[in-house]
Amino acid sequence: MSTLPESYILIQLDSALEQWHDPFVRQLLERTITLRINGYGNKYPEGVIPFDASCWFASHFLICEERDGLRPIMGFQRATLQQYRRHHMPFAPQSLCNQSSCERHIEAMEDLVRRFEHRPDKLSYTGGFTIDPKLRANRSLVAELCQLMVVLHFLFHSEAGEEHEIVMAPIVRFKIDRLFASFGSFSLMEGAEDDGSVLALTSFAGEKARFMRLQRFNSEMSRLAENYRSWWDSRILLNSTSRQYSLARLRTVTSVNAPEYGSYI
């Protein structure tokens, strides 16, 4: 049973780049990046940049609250191999592996990408998971938000259809890898244990990450996700085709009604 505040709103922002003419989208992405800067800056050495160009075309799953408009308090992003190719960018997890000198990781990732050569829309990479550092004193809320992050993976994975797979690289220090493993994920290199599946990320000041794959979730996750199903089904979906309708819906569930949004609602 969810204990999240009723005032929280789930928003899925798809490819902000394609909606950049909309001031609401611009503000929401700016606040999403600010959330990530604040969250990562609280945990990583100075100089670590917690986003790249993929934030422009990825789907951002955001839990927002009303505070001077809508402000994300938790979020992560997802982008497919197809989207990376469309925008002429190397697939992020493959780049992370290539930066290392670990041939096992490089070969395993190349093999995975090769399997999706003719169906690049079926391989997703997720990352950038962040919670507002101001909330971290509330341990029960943080625990549920972490669990909800995994539930949202299950829900978008279910909508992606058969043969869809997720690859991720959670930081070991925060134990998110263990959380995913408890619901069905496994090492990029099947059979690898402990340090054999861990790689130090150059761009994250040497932080150790565990590269993982997710093909199917276990039955425990299926049961857990039902607590959030109606919330997912009623999420605010912002993309190039549904944005105007979704922004109109925001007016009915929030007090967001700033004049600069008027021509888009």
136-147 pLDDT tens trace: 999 999 999 999
Checking if the pLDDT of 88 tops 90, the result is yes
Q: What is the reported pLDDT for 133?
A: 96
Domains of the chain by start residue, with CATH: 9-264 (3.40.630.30)
Percent of the chain with pLDDT over 90: 78
Cβ-based neighbours of 240, under 8 Å, separated by 6 or more = 14, 15, 18, 19
23-36 pLDDT tens trace: 999 999 999 999 99
Asked if residues 38 and 133 have their Cβ atoms less than 8 Å apart, the reply is: yes
**Residue 51: band (very low, low, confident or very high) from pLDDT cuts 50, 70, 90:** very high
203-224 pLDDT tens trace: 999 999 999 999 999 999 999 9
**Residue 191: band (very low, low, confident or very high) from pLDDT cuts 50, 70, 90:** low
Checking if the pLDDT of 265 tops 80, the result is no
Q: What is the reported pLDDT for 264?
A: 34
Amino acid at 247: L
How, if at all, do strands 70-80 and 123-131 pair? Answer: antiparallel
Q: What is the reported pLDDT for 7?
A: 85
Checking if the pLDDT of 131 tops 90, the result is yes
Checking if the pLDDT of 103 tops 60, the result is yes
Q: What is the reported pLDDT for 258?
A: 41
Q: What is the reported pLDDT for 251?
A: 65
Q: What is the reported pLDDT for 66?
A: 86
Q: What is the reported pLDDT for 113?
A: 98
Instruction: Give the global pTM.
Output: 0.92
